[in-house]
Chain A
């Protein structure tokens, strides 16, 4: 499938909005963009009515391999990513063993290359074993073949302020970024659900917004103090967005992401105690959702990241407090963003390209990903049909796990095709190989 592809009549998301054009992909590169292109021998894809976006980049994916191959593998997770329109994902470090050495990050990186559905950029742990006690060998991971630049103890917070300061300082040596899972551990002991009306009614231990906001405020101050890059994972509260807006107004080197589920779902969904809605950070209130959407629209929050967190059935078919935290999200992310951001008029398609491809790639220090669609640029792109009728989401997808909170929920749109360096990974909504 390495020949040329001619994509006819796509609506190309560029800085000036959408413009209808043909795209010619040759040798992994976009070799021409324009009207009425033709190329002998090229395979032709009629893209009329489809939006062409630069291939989506996810800053926050749990691929579970090594260690929990019953939930997901690099291969199944990247298939799900491709079907969701992604051409690159950042694989989080909380595997078994933890990705805290060059050996583990190189293994994950190689598995991604072998699978070939999208680029897999490993994230390294900040602390050895995610234990929060001493730094992992950050420089060695940075120098490895996996070329790690994003470091995160995601799933756990780097709660020790001194260790967080040192981590931020240390990664300046190789242009690294610390992606913080902001959760004060003492304020969230045993916490199950956003602390508010619903948690009180359901008798589930409350997870206060301040547990997230206090850590974000502290980390913004630390990042400013040492002049190093902080990225805030899965921002979930209105207050967090306000703090980040304030930090950015100071010119501090802070970026942030929001998940699709925090853009659409609220803690009201927990009333049936179905742990498919149990996630860390928890679903919040409708007021938080509205504020997160606004913050993503105005750029306070830089990007959408899925926090795709697959779990086997038995981890969710249980009592709420026993169940695992997390939701899958790769296959539904773009459809959710259309519903929450585009169909509401908050973001246009060039804005989606910015928040789901350009900015996450920049934060992740990826080269060859997240470039706006332009002649000479990498042929990573996603073709999306926003007019596809809203279909209920199926729990069964390419991911090995089925813990999608959107199951049965009608979502608009459809990813029609994904190209990774000129080669289709998805065609007509199905894996191309």
Chain B
């Protein structure tokens, strides 16, 4: 690494200042709308709670059959904390299980979005820039997957490779990349007609360099928006699969799995039905609000 580059990363270098200003601007903008601010707050708290989940002193796997289906209470039991959100049919603490389940939801969601984003952005860049046969083949696959219900495709593949945390993340990622590919390709088709790409080409840049250094940075905003909007879908998809018993197998708590168990105890235990659903809805709602906000933020022309 040269001296120049080292200097370029110092605390007061232009890049750092630019990043700092960017964040300041961003924070100032989210203040303006109560809804957007609340969404950021909820998401931040959810992430924080799921990171700190292991610190909660109640074991989410600990079965206390004598304590089964306890309603939410503030009264302390002789052994430790009160069951703030009640217990499930096996006497496991619902709050502890929800914390761990949220962590898993975010992990699977994040991992699958990451896979979808990498695969989709790359294929979208390639399809859009190279065109021709490559484009035709990639877009046929994209259209095929987009014409079918996401959940049906995922279920069909689960039937083949079986459930499990990594399998689900892989399946969701490898079926969800099409949205990225389609959007990125469209943007690349527009960008490659602009003069700066022509300039790079006439300067003798290689195809890879033009794609990665000149075009890719221009689609970052679009990709970030798509990441956010896809994350909500992935979290719902994982919950749906787990609810159907095709996702992450018990005893691991998942929001979908807890709700699936709740079906049996409808008549006696409302808290198992309500709380996991509310958590799930709040996460997805705030992610979607942030996604909509980012779309306007990166493309000010769209604001009306």
- A and B: partners? no
Chain A interface residues (CB < 8 Å from chain B): none
Chain B interface residues (CB < 8 Å from chain A): none
